Structure 1
Amino acid sequence: MKHPRALLNTIIVATGYLASRVLGLARDVLISNQFGTSAELAAFRASFGILDLIYLVVAGGALGSAFIPVFSAALEQRRDAWRLASAVLNLTLLALVAACTAVWICAAPLVALTVGRGLDEAERALTVDVLRLMLIQPFLLGVGGLAKATLESFNRFALPAIGSNLYNLGIIGGALLGPWFGIYGLVWGVNIGAALFLLVQLPGLRAVGATYRIGRQPSDAHPTRLPFLSFFHAEGVGQVLRLLGPRIFGQSAWQINIIAIVSLASTLGSAALAANAYALQLMMLPHGLIALSLATVLFPDMARQYAAGDRATLRATALGGVRAVLFLALPASAILGVLALPVLRALYQRGAFDDTSAALTAEALAMYALGLAGFAAAEIVVRAFFAMQDTRTPVIVGIGAVALNISLGWSFLELGMGLGGLGLAFSLANLFEATLLLALLGRRLGGLEHDFFRATGAMILATLACALTLALLHRSSYAVLPFVAPGDTYRWPGDFLPILVWLTGATVPGGLVYAGVAALLRVPELGATIARGQRILSRVRLR
């Protein structure tokens, strides 16, 4: 791996994800102020379970993970890579049209049986209406996702990152229209944002020499075949489809898992459904910044290392990525878990998002945070399997994790554990998935190093010390600073700046305790993180 370029790409992707997540927070702040945990927002959030199923299965991560290795190999071997890309695009368009048409026709029974199972008749009707209006979103994101995968094959990460931010800006624009158009302002903001995500990447495709080739060469066996339908004559299409098959199954299982969570949350009422969505979105903030950014950069490198037969470097890249992710994700999980209520108050509690909304969301967030490290680590390990062109293993493990999540979630609800039970089920399932995938990756690449276990154990001890410090600081502040305590104790805007100051004052010592224990136990990632930060700062100063 070329470390300077990898560092630059990581910075680009991490910056893009940071901007995307910051914009996502701004988006959710505006949405929470306007809609709180209302039935309108519940309908909007519920619709995304089905929309994401279309996007992720047809043209999201599934297609990217199958397309990038085959397309990269075609480029390396100087085969007609653009003919392959054109054929895959044609297949993607056909699949998206079919999927969106089917969902439009079956929207009412689909909502009633899945994401709207616990909603009343009026709330279900609103969800159906919102879902149908937003069906243009997965189509645009699907084509944009293929453009993103193509650019990332050339190590071009900037435009896809910009596109993700423009998508959020579109939704923010829709949220600002909320006072006039209600939830429909958000709906059209989503569609406009999806269009911007695709359009901004088109100049990048032109820069890398992309050409749309409808299909045939003069030597093809069927000269009378319609060009648009000549999918399978491009070399490599069959390989993409073979890799895509298990991945589609896995993505379907994962999104069914999310739909099941939404469905279970809906049985607790529309407010619980909306609160659960806020908690999941907030948990995804550190996941996107820490895990997705690094995994996006490492995936093409690991694919090239596997193609070159360099197993030792692939093993070092994968395990090094997991350790780097764990080092940052573990303290983030402690902060979100222990300080869930103060964090939510500082971010969202204003306007329609009241103390009841904050308490509901905090109940879920505290439990979701427990699984953040496993969720983040699995992102790297899954990409390592995909780089080895093995989509079957992570899919089988993922299906097991989904089954565990759904069964635990249903059981915990039956025991009266509420939204916290759904969050705990999600966390346990993700920890199971990450642990099993790591064990299988170790077997594939010659075993996990002793240093890996020692460093991971030391990080866990440092996290426990950090969590204990945060819990003591939080509990000891109740009497003096009531706005951090549970109940109707927080007032906007008077308590906003004080709670921000308190959060800073609590997280800094918590972070110092984590770093101190990590230094005492000689965790290498501490020095690597500090060095990486110094290199980034030096680059900024030079500019």
Structure 2
Amino acid sequence: MNKYTSTSAHSSERFLNIMVVRLLIPALVATGLFAGFAREVVLAYLFGTTREIEIFRVAFGLPSVLSDSLAVSFVAILIRLLLTGERGHPAHALRCAIWATLAFSGIVFLLGVFTMPWQARLLAPGMSPDEHAQLVVAGQVCWLTFLFVVLSLPMRALMSTRGRVWPGAASQVMRSGGFVLALLAFVLVFGWRDLMAPAYAAALGGATVLGVHILALGARDRRRVTVSLAAPERLDALSPTLSAIGLVLLSQLFLSAGRLLDRAVASGMGEGMLAGLEYSYALVMAVAAILATSTNLTLAPRMGRAIRDTGRLARGHVVQIAAIAVGATAIGAVLALGAEPITRLVFERGAFDSAATALTAEIFRLHALSLGPLVLALLLTQILLLHGRQRAVFGAAIFKAFFKIVCLWWILRIDGDIYDVAKTLLWVEFAMAAALSAAVFFRR
């Protein structure tokens, strides 16, 4: 009787935990999407499509894109490292994960800060020298966002291996929410409406992500992290992890090159073009990042264990990936159909007028159609990383950047406009998804 009661109670508790996870993830996804919209609404209300917001978009662009796109792949690498260490030396695996993250984030942060003058000329060739000077200062502050978000990733990976979806699945909520609250405080309390207000708000949003992860880690794991920090790991022990992460960084630079190139081309198409493009990109990428992050937290540990134990994915994993891709495509179609009313509802108030709505809505309609292949490409990239095939990801990223350059070269050659630039996102993401599918499912 006692055995039966104990088994029944355990089954009920397990069922309850599963239901909580299944309900919590969609709730966090929806909240993250809302917080991302709130950030864009506040920026649109305060700055519209002015040159000032375009300068901030360029300053915030590279740190934001890298911290967003790198997070999924970075966590996948750390999950693989921690899962491997479960069978032998978990403390050593955690120490390697933490010190590799510290070394990587510190080096990239310093490079980002000290190369901002060069970045300004490269990423916004259509801006004036005075605008470049403002861009450099704002960009150096925005690189703090990258530093704080990346420092939270070992803790997110550690909690993901234990099936904990909080606070990892809420990273977008915390980052966007922290940004909005800080920016509103700067504007409403201090009357601070210049370029540096959103730059400092972005840094505080990243700090919010790191702070919440530290608090959510728990006393026991915080002690483990403290012990790991007190005992630096040898460089030769970190080399495999740093090499994998470094290759992912290079891959993400190539993967992000399309948006960077779009921004560079748009900076010379007149005031407002870059801003409209960036508002649309922000909406599409927010949805893609939320979908990919939620999937990473729930599916990646199971896929990682399947690959570790059998060397391949289970059939159920393939079905789930296909379903997620189809769902993302459907979401993209709905967003495209409702692009104008969505844009008007989200943005059209304050400094964001009807002309800005018409521009952004048409770009968003074209961008939204790429959501399906975009999410599929993110998932397939994660699978390759779980297999330890960083070189395949790097090769695909180079292909994507080259294909984007060819597309934009053709657009410039025919004197295309900003809408033609927007169309290239769908072409490039479809080609990337096809290339990654071949690498994953047709491996010899």
Give the TM-score normalised by the residue count of structure 2.
0.87
Superposed, 1:248-259 pairs within 5 Å as 248-259=249-260
2:217 counterpart SS class? helix
Contact 1:54 1:99 in 2 (8 A): no
Q: Is the 8 A contact 1:300 1:387 kept in 2?
A: no
Against the structure 1 CA distance between its residues 227 and 440, is the aligned structure 2 distance closer, same or farther, given a 3 Å change threshold? Answer: closer
Shift of 1:245: 4.3
Alignment of 1:382 onto 2:390: no
Checking the alignment, whether the CA contact within 8 Å between 2:58 and 2:124 is kept in structure 1 is yes
How far off is 1:270 after superposition? 3.9
Residue in structure 1 matched with residue 183 of structure 2 by the alignment = 175
Q: CA deviation at 1:320?
A: 1.4
Mapping for residues 161-200 of structure 1, pairs under 5 Å: 161-176=169-184, 177-178=186-187, 180-182=191-193, 183-200=195-212
- 2:9 corresponds in structure 1 to none
Contact 2:25 2:165 in 1 (8 A): yes
Q: Which residue of 2 aligns with 1:122?
A: 130
Instruction: Read off the aligned partner of 1:138 and give its amino acid letter.
Output: F
1:21, 1:288 within 8 Å by CA — same for their partners in 2? Answer: no
Determine the structure 2 residue equivalent to 1:60: 71
For residue 208 of structure 1, report the CA deviation from its aligned partner.
5.8
What residue is the counterpart of 2:34 in the other structure?
22
- C-alpha contact (below 8 Å) 1:10/1:297 kept by paired residues: no
Question: Which deviations, in whole Å up to 9, do the C-alpha atoms of 1:383-428 show, x marking residues without a partner?
Answer: 2222222222233123212221232123224323322222211111
Q: Which amino acid is the alignment partner of residue 79 of structure 2? A: I
Unaligned 5+ runs, structure 2: 1-13
The one-letter code of the counterpart of 1:294 is T
Q: Deviations over 1:431-462 (max 9, x none)?
A: 111122223322249xxxxxxxxxxxxxxxxx
The answer as to whether partners of 1:292 and 1:379 remain within 8 angstroms in 2 is: no
Give the Cα–Cα distance (whole angstroms) in 2 for the partners of residues 82 and 149 of structure 1: 14
* Residue of structure 1 in register with 2:309 after alignment: 308
Letter in 2 for 1:439: A
Verify the 8 A CA contact 1:23 1:168 in the aligned structure 2. yes
The answer (yes or no) to whether the contact 1:265–1:272 under 8 Å persists in 2 is: yes
- Structure 1 residue aligned with 2:4: none
Counterpart amino acid of residue 332 in structure 1 = I
CA distance in 1, matches of 2:370, 2:170: 29
Q: 2: CA distance between counterparts of 1:386 and 1:54?
A: 17
Query: In 2, are the aligned partners of 1:140 and 1:194 still within 8 Å (CA)?
Result: yes
Structure 2 counterpart of 1:199, one-letter code: G
Q: In the alignment, does 2:369 pair up with 1:364?
A: no
Give how far 1:111 is off: 0.6
**Conserved 8 A contact 2:104-2:242:** no
Higher mean alpha-carbon deviation, 346-355 vs 257-266, is at 257-266
Q: Secondary structure at the match of 1:232?
A: helix
Distance in structure 2 (CA, Å) of the matches to 1:73 and 1:366: 44
2: distance between equivalents of 1:181 and 1:31?
Answer: 13
Name the CA distance, whole Å, in 2 between partners of 1:166 and 1:65: 21
1:216-295 correspondence runs (5 A)? 228=232, 230-233=234-237, 237-295=238-296
Equivalent position of 1:98 in the other structure: 107
Q: Residue 196 of structure 2: SS of its match in structure 1?
A: helix
2:48 corresponding residue in structure 1 = 36
Structure 1 unaligned spans of 5+:
217-225, 446-543
* Change in CA separation of 1:270 and 1:299 when aligned onto 2, cut-off 3 Å: farther
Point out the more displaced range, 346-355 or 205-214: 205-214
**Is the Cα contact below 8 Å between 2:343 and 2:361 reproduced in 1?**
yes
Deviation readout 1:232-287 (Å, 9 max, x if unpaired) = 34xxx444235334323211212333222211221213411111111011113442
Check the 8 A contact 1:151/1:205 in 2, yes or no.
yes
The aligned amino acid for 1:150 is: L
Larger C-alpha radius of gyration, 1 or 2?
1
Judging changes above 3 Å, is the alpha-carbon distance between structure 1 residues 185 and 437 closer, same or farther for their aligned structure 2 residues?
A: same
Preserved contact between residue 332 and residue 368 of structure 2 (Cα < 8 Å): yes
Contact 1:88 1:231 in 2 (8 A): no
Aligned to 2:3: none
Aligned to 1:202: 214
Query: Taking every aligned residue pair, what percent have the same amino acid on both sides?
Result: 19
Residue 133 of structure 1, CA deviation:
2.2
Partner residue, 1:453:
none
Checking the alignment, whether the CA contact within 8 Å between 2:105 and 2:151 is kept in structure 1 is: no
CA 1:140/1:285 → structure 2, altered by over 3 Å: closer, same or farther? Answer: closer
1:34-92 CA-to-partner distances (Å, cap 9, x unmatched) read 110111111111112332366469x73443222111211211x041x233322332333
- What's the TM-score once normalised by structure 1's chain length? 0.72
CA drift at 1:369: 1.7
The residue type equivalent to 2:252 in the other structure is: Q
Report the 3-state secondary structure (helix = DSSP H, G, I; strand = E; otherwise coil) of the residue aligned with 1:308: helix
The count of residues paired between Structure 1 and Structure 2 equals: 426
Give a deviation string over 1:209-246, Cα, whole Å, max 9, x none. Answer: 35136679xxxxxxxxx95363434xxx4442353343
Written as runs of structure 1 = structure 2, the 5 A alignment for 1:444-523 is 444=443
What is the deviation of 1:310? 6.6
1:86 equivalenced with 2:88 (yes/no): no
Query: Match of 2:8?
Result: none
Provide the alpha-carbon RMSD of the alignment: 2.7
Is the Cα–Cα contact under 8 Å of residues 247 and 394 in structure 2 kept in the other structure? yes
Partner of 1:352, secondary structure, is: coil
In structure 1, C-alpha distance between the alignment counterparts of 2:72 and 2:291, rounded to whole Å: 17
Higher RCO (Cα < 8 Å, 6 or more apart): 2
SS at match of 1:157: coil
- Assess, with a 3 A threshold, how the Cα gap between structure 1 residues 160 and 104 changes in structure 2: closer, same or farther: same
- How far residue 297 of structure 1 moved from its aligned partner, in angstroms, is 1.5
For 1:509, the equivalent position in structure 2 comes to none
Q: 1:330 to 1:56 in 2, by over 3 A?
A: closer
C-alpha distance in 2 between matches for 1:62 and 1:276: 26
Q: How far is 1:195 from its partner?
A: 1.4
For residues 446-484 of structure 1, give each alpha carbon's deviation from its aligned partner in whole angstroms, at most 9, with x where no partner exists. Answer: xxxxxxxxxxxxxxxxxxxxxxxxxxxxxxxxxxxxxxx
Change in Cα spacing, 1:54 to 1:123, as seen in structure 2 (3 Å) is: same
Distance (whole Å) between structure 1 residues aligned to residue 225 and residue 78 of structure 2: 16
Residue 140 (structure 1) aligns with: 148
Other structure's SS at 1:350 match: coil
Whether the 8 Å CA contact 2:142–2:200 is kept in 1: the answer is yes
